[in-house]
């Protein structure tokens, strides 16, 4: 519940968010190298920051981890009834040293999005429900918009779909189109 203390969080993750909120628009910033980075998660921080400033953004980042244990348990073959509640303390202790999950960094948030992408593709492989590919496309695009290493997420999703459907060319093209659809519509 305290103020943000991490160097990256105060310098550009929340520093730019505070400027956007102060100016009520997205100004052109030519004096800050970090202003050219993708800022998808920071835009989610913006809503929390407008209500409770630095501590609200850090708390939002902590809550962003809630789905991770449920995705992990389903991916590991456990029942979905396992859910996030029992594993939440384990996940938070693994999120990093010295309260990394309660700072306004975006690394752990991106890891959760990539984990959710892995989970959605795993469910798609089991059930072959093509609607899950649209969700996978949204998650892959969001991972790419959080931080530069996330640009590998759409490639990963395309490789998984191409590999699973390699013997069905028409269905493979349809699956790749469903993954690309959310990105093309944005």
- 139 lies in some domain: yes
Among 120, 151, 152, 116, residue whose Cα is nearest residue 134: 120
Domain membership of residue 128 as a residue range: 110-186
Where are any strands of DSSP class E within the chain? Answer: none
Q: Is residue 15 part of a domain?
A: no
- Number of folded domains that form the chain: 1
Q: Which tens digits make up the pLDDT trace of 112-169?
A: 889 889 989 999 999 989 999 999 999 999 999 888 888 999 999 999 999 999 999 9
Residue at 137 is within a domain: yes
- Whether residue 177 is contained in a domain is answered as yes
CB-based burial of residue 160 (10 Å sphere; 0-12 exposed, 13-18 middle, 19+ buried)?
buried
Q: Does some domain include residue 145?
A: yes
169 located within any domain: yes
Give pLDDT tens digits for 84-103.
444 444 444 444 444 445 56
Closest-CA residue to 157 (of 127, 186, 125): 125
Position 47 in a domain: no
- For the ranges 9-18, 34-43, 67-76, 171-180, the one whose mean pLDDT is highest: 171-180
């Amino acid at each position: 519940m305290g103020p943000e203390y991490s160097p990256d969080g105060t310098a550009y993750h929340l520093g730019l968010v505070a400027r956007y909120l102060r100016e009520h628009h997205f100004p052109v910033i030519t004096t800050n190298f970090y202003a050219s980075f993708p800022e998808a998660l920071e835009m989610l921080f913006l809503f929390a920051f407008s209500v409770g400033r630095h501590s609200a953004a850090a708390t939002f980042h902590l809550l962003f981890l809630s789905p991770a244990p449920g995705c992990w348990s389903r991916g590991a073959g456990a029942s979905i009834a396992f859910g996030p509640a029992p594993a939440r303390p384990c996940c938070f202790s693994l999120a990093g040293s010295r309260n990394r999950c309660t700072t306004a960094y975006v690394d752990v948030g991106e890891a959760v999005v990539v984990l959710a992408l892995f989970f959605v593709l795993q469910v798609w492989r089991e059930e072959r429900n093509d609607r899950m590919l649209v969700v996978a496309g949204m998650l892959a695009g969001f991972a790419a918009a959080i931080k530069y290493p996330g640009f590998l997420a759409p490639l990963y999703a395309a490789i998984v779909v191409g590999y699973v459907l390699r013997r069905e060319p028409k269905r493979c093209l349809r699956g790749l189109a469903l993954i690309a659809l959310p990105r093309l519509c944005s």
